[in-house]
Each structure stands twice: as C-alpha cells, then as structure tokens.
Amino acid sequence: QLQLQESGPGLVRPSETLSLTCNVSGASISSISYYWGWVRQPPGKGLAWIGHIHSSGTTYHNPSLKSRVTISIDTSKNQFSLKLNSVTAADTAVYYCARDRGWFDPWGQGILVTVSS
C-alpha cells in the first residue's frame, strides 16, 4: 500500500528556507510515471497547490510563489523534497505531500510549519 510521510522542521525563522521531505513507501518513486506534489493549507484556510515533480525530474510550481520554490526528487532514497526560501509569516501552513495522477491520492498526514522568530 502506497504511503507518504512528510518530515522536516516545524519552526522556521523569517527570511530563511523551509525544507521538507516526503518519504514514499509501498512503491518505487521512479518506477511509476506519476507526478509527486506538494499542497499547503494555512491555518483556517483552504488548500493551495505548491508544485509537483515528475519521476523524470520535470517540475512545475504555482506561479504565485515565483522563484521561491524548488522541488527535487531522490530516487535512491525514494523521496522528494520541497524548499521554499525567503519565508514570511504568510508561509505558515500545514504542508502535505501527495501522489499526483491528475488527482491527489494518497496524501501524507501533513506537517505544520510555523514561520516565526
């Protein structure tokens, strides 16, 4: 059964870089032609797509985040990662990773990242 699990710091200081990793288990991240995506949800608000990466390494991200987003994939570790630089309080959110087949399923449990000094 495919499962995803986010990991990373729960607290990031303003102007620094948020770094999260999504560990994939139950399937090889490189053997299946899917996208692997990141979605976030600010407290009390709706879902917002951050971006996704194909198993080939091709990436797309939400233009609203401009050039702050980097998504990478490590097939040797069966995981993919998110980096968001120059964070502000507006980046405080629960961050989810999910397999993207044109629809998101399954999802990780999510990780709350707070941006605060």
**Out of 7, 49, 65, 83, the residue judged to bind other proteins by CB under 8 A:** 49
Candidates 13-21, 69-77, 85-93, 94-102; binding stretch for other proteins (CB under 8 A): 94-102
Could you tell me if residue 75 is left (phi over 0), alpha (psi between -120 and 50 degrees) or otherwise beta? Answer: alpha
Locate 20 and state its tokens: 């999260």
Nearest distance from C-beta of residue 3 to other proteins, angstroms: 12
CB 88 within 8 A of CB 98: no
Q: What is the maximal distance between C-alpha atoms in the chain?
A: 41
Q: Of 14 and 26, which CB lies nearer to other proteins in the complex structure?
A: 26
Q: Which chain residues interact with other proteins by CB under 8 A? A: 37, 39, 46-49, 52, 60, 62-63, 96, 100, 102-110
